[in-house]
A and B are shown apart, each in its own frame.
Chain A
């Protein structure tokens, strides 16, 4: 049970994901230096956790969390998952369900949903925002794909800017470095900060915000091995 001694330690590594079937939704795992880590379970597109993909290596950046093993792996929480883009056919491990190897409860099982939608009633009403607001959009490593949560944030930022007739909307794009546990550094590709920022400008323009100022930093921000996922970002600052 090496997890207890390592509680709270960061584990940043690249490896093939492992999928373990269960009676309900599958668990996603990854191995690093002979140990298995639990990353998360299959959920819905609206979830904060987006599982890795077989046929691809995954960059895992997570902290060893308290609690027993889940699906045979030490839980990492919080954990950031980045699917690396190039195809790797060696990443192809799908383990069968085993008695006693259960996934944590899932909001949605593998079948159709049983939850009636509330029509967005649970969301924070945009009217509650006032003053200068900063919206931070996070990205997976080396990626400019806007995941569901970030997509919602852009929509919210645009709605806010339009509602208050913002005097200034500034978009800032960044790329970053990930410091791995073994000391290696992974640097996001050149040009990505600009691409991220320009994509957001296009989205905002399509959503009615045409006066946004765009800037980006060509240099990749250095990694510290602790907070690296938070630097793969675009910020939108809306000023009344």
Chain B
């Protein structure tokens, strides 16, 4: 017993020493708008998994008066409220719960507009913010039908009905689908505002997945990657900034072009990655895997395909094979990610674009962009996180969901969803809310895989609380037949990114 106690104490002490190398344990990590702090060139933040590194590649950032850190709207929010360096320039539910307790729910991150399940709910109650606190989800109100840039309605291929509305927002007379301003509310995680040179790279004039023109940057006229946001609704960082300030910050006056420019410049130089593992120690080490850590992200070229065996997505992990337990596990996880074959089935915009169904491939087929594991082509895919394939007309009464459920009915002259047909039950139609296309229902733009350990939960709808749940999802979804050891290896690998 004494020996066990000694071992536990020793492990705890080692972990503390390792984490102390990177972080002052007493510093306040939640940045409030207008705090005026100066952010160092390199900062490190602990989580249960280890230490996240945050690199300001342009040097220290003075936040005083900086528009990313200043509330520009009417609800007290700044960009930083939802993109905190501590949480990989996103947010975690751990951080949100702590923030709720520390501020009695008064932090602007909980703003009624989209930080609660619906603005009409009593805002002082924790349960009115349950989706944010439990799953890290913000309300995203989108017009229905979708609109063109000039405000005219886009043609749509389906009708949409609300069949479950646990938040009350989609059936609300004020905020809902039948309101004066017909709106669909979906609930999504904020994406990391970091490593963005990778996210915006790779624009091609014609989108491989649709055979249609890519969106263009309104400023340059150049085609864009269409990998920004869950539904690719914003073509550029500038338009995203403008839309976020007018929406999430509820600004009445548009930000100036210099404010937008300053925000984009800041976002474009921030890199986040896991820097150390709680027991495994530093990750970005000489002679180690070349893709780990923030400096690798800063230095690597963006827009490079990594679905190959000579220069893979996150580099080679060869030198960690046969190393200590943790590093060997990470290296095995990298091999599973790159080389473990399984049947990719029934995934719209993967199997349906000429590759065949099923497709015998690996994780890296889709997560193919070097350094982030996004898709180099416009990356919306229906991997099955939002749709309910087993729901039927007669079973809806018996089903339940924390999220709203919509019934999509495709018109007869439209192409149906390739694997779910013409009637689809979904908690988030995803890209289809922007494109109006039936084949896009449930398709969500793939996310980058960096800094994961600091920003649980995962998937656009926060449906996986842990990396274990992410791995379990894929194991079930694609019948990968992973052993417990393989799952642990994949989790260690993903956690090291």
Which of A3-11, A45-53, A172-180, A222-230 binds B? A45-53
Does A214 touch B at the CB level, under 8 Å?
Answer: no
Q: Are B211 and A146 in contact (CB under 8 A)?
A: yes
0 or 1 for each of B261-280: is its CB under 8 Å from A? (1 = yes): 00000000000000000000
Does B180 touch A at the CB level, under 8 Å?
Answer: no
Q: Are B205 and A19 in contact (CB under 8 A)?
A: no
A180 to B210, CA, bound (A): 29
Say how far B371's CB is from chain A's closest CB, in angstroms: 16
Point out the residue from A25, A112, A199, A207 that lies within 8 Å of B339, measured CB to CB. A112
Q: Are A45 and B208 in contact (CB under 8 A)?
A: yes
Q: Are B212 and A112 in contact (CB under 8 A)?
A: no
Q: Are B346 and A55 in contact (CB under 8 A)?
A: yes
Say how far A41's CB is from chain B's closest CB, in angstroms: 9
Point out the residue from B206, B360, B421 that lies within 8 Å of A203, measured CB to CB. B206
A110 to B343, CA, bound (A): 10
Does B361 touch A at the CB level, under 8 Å?
Answer: yes
Q: Are B357 and A54 in contact (CB under 8 A)?
A: yes
Does B308 touch A at the CB level, under 8 Å?
Answer: yes
Which residues on B sit within 8 Å (CB–CB) of A210?
none
Say how far A30's CB is from chain B's closest CB, in angstroms: 13
Q: Are A55 and B357 in contact (CB under 8 A)?
A: yes
Say how far B494's CB is from chain A's closest CB, in angstroms: 18
Q: Are B416 and A87 in contact (CB under 8 A)?
A: yes
Say how far B259's CB is from chain A's closest CB, in angstroms: 31
Which residues on A sit within 8 Å (CB–CB) of B354?
45, 50-51, 147-148
Size bracket of the A interface: 35 or more
0 or 1 for each of B330-344: is its CB under 8 Å from A? (1 = yes): 000000001101010
Does B309 touch A at the CB level, under 8 Å?
Answer: yes
Q: Are B356 and A53 in contact (CB under 8 A)?
A: yes
Q: What is the chain B residue whose CB lies nearest that of A85?
A: B415
Q: Are A51 and B339 in contact (CB under 8 A)?
A: no
Q: What is the chain B residue whose CB lies nearest that of A115?
A: B308
0 or 1 for each of A12-45: is its CB under 8 Å from B? (1 = yes): 0000000101000110100000000000001011
Q: What is the chain B residue whose CB lies nearest that of A202?
A: B213
Q: Are B212 and A116 in contact (CB under 8 A)?
A: no
Q: What is the chain B residue whose CB lies nearest that of A22?
A: B360
Q: Are B352 and A53 in contact (CB under 8 A)?
A: yes
Say how far B343's CB is from chain A's closest CB, in angstroms: 8
A19 to B345, CA, bound (A): 12
Say how far B292's CB is from chain A's closest CB, in angstroms: 19
Question: A113 with B307: in contact, given A45-B353, A55-B419, A85-B415 (CB under 8 Å)?
Answer: yes
Q: Are A52 and B356 in contact (CB under 8 A)?
A: yes
Point out the residue from B213, B361, B365, B416 that lies within 8 Å of A86, measured CB to CB. B416
Which residues on B sit within 8 Å (CB–CB) of A21?
360
Does B418 touch A at the CB level, under 8 Å?
Answer: yes
0 or 1 for each of B143-175: is its CB under 8 Å from A? (1 = yes): 000000000000000000000000000000000
Q: Are B338 and A53 in contact (CB under 8 A)?
A: no
Q: Are A54 and B358 in contact (CB under 8 A)?
A: yes
Question: A110 with B211: in contact, given A19-B358, A87-B418, A151-B206 (CB under 8 Å)?
Answer: no
Q: Are A148 and B208 in contact (CB under 8 A)?
A: yes
A104 to B341, CA, bound (A): 19
Which residues on B sit within 8 Å (CB–CB) of A54?
345-346, 357-358
Which residues on A sit within 8 Å (CB–CB) of B359?
42
Q: Are A53 and B421 in contact (CB under 8 A)?
A: no
Does B44 touch A at the CB level, under 8 Å?
Answer: no
Point out the residue from A42, A202, A203, A206 that lies within 8 Å of B356, measured CB to CB. A42
Q: What is the chain A residue whose CB lies nearest that of B415?
A: A85
Q: Are B213 and A206 in contact (CB under 8 A)?
A: yes
Q: Are A112 and B416 in contact (CB under 8 A)?
A: no
Q: Are A56 and B206 in contact (CB under 8 A)?
A: no
A151 to B354, CA, bound (A): 13
Q: What is the chain B residue whose CB lies nearest that of A152?
A: B206
Q: Are B338 and A112 in contact (CB under 8 A)?
A: yes
Q: Are A26 and B360 in contact (CB under 8 A)?
A: yes
A85 to B412, CA, bound (A): 11
Q: What is the chain A residue whose CB lies nearest that of B211?
A: A146
Does A94 touch B at the CB level, under 8 Å?
Answer: yes
Does A218 touch B at the CB level, under 8 Å?
Answer: no
Q: Are B206 and A154 in contact (CB under 8 A)?
A: yes
Does B305 touch A at the CB level, under 8 Å?
Answer: yes
Point out the residue from B210, B355, B419 that lies within 8 Å of A51, measured CB to CB. B355
Give the residues from 63 to 79 in chain A that come closer than 8 angstroms, CB to CB, to chain B: none
Going nearest first, the 3 A-B pairs with the smallest beta carbon separation are A51-B356, A146-B211, A53-B357
14 more contacts with CB within 8 A, not counting A56-B418, A112-B362, are A45-B208, A51-B356, A52-B357, A55-B418, A85-B418, A112-B307, A112-B339, A114-B309, A114-B310, A146-B206, A147-B354, A151-B211, A155-B205, A191-B413
13 contacts between A and B (CB under 8 A): A45-B208, A51-B354, A85-B416, A87-B419, A110-B362, A112-B312, A114-B309, A115-B308, A146-B211, A151-B206, A191-B413, A203-B213, A206-B213
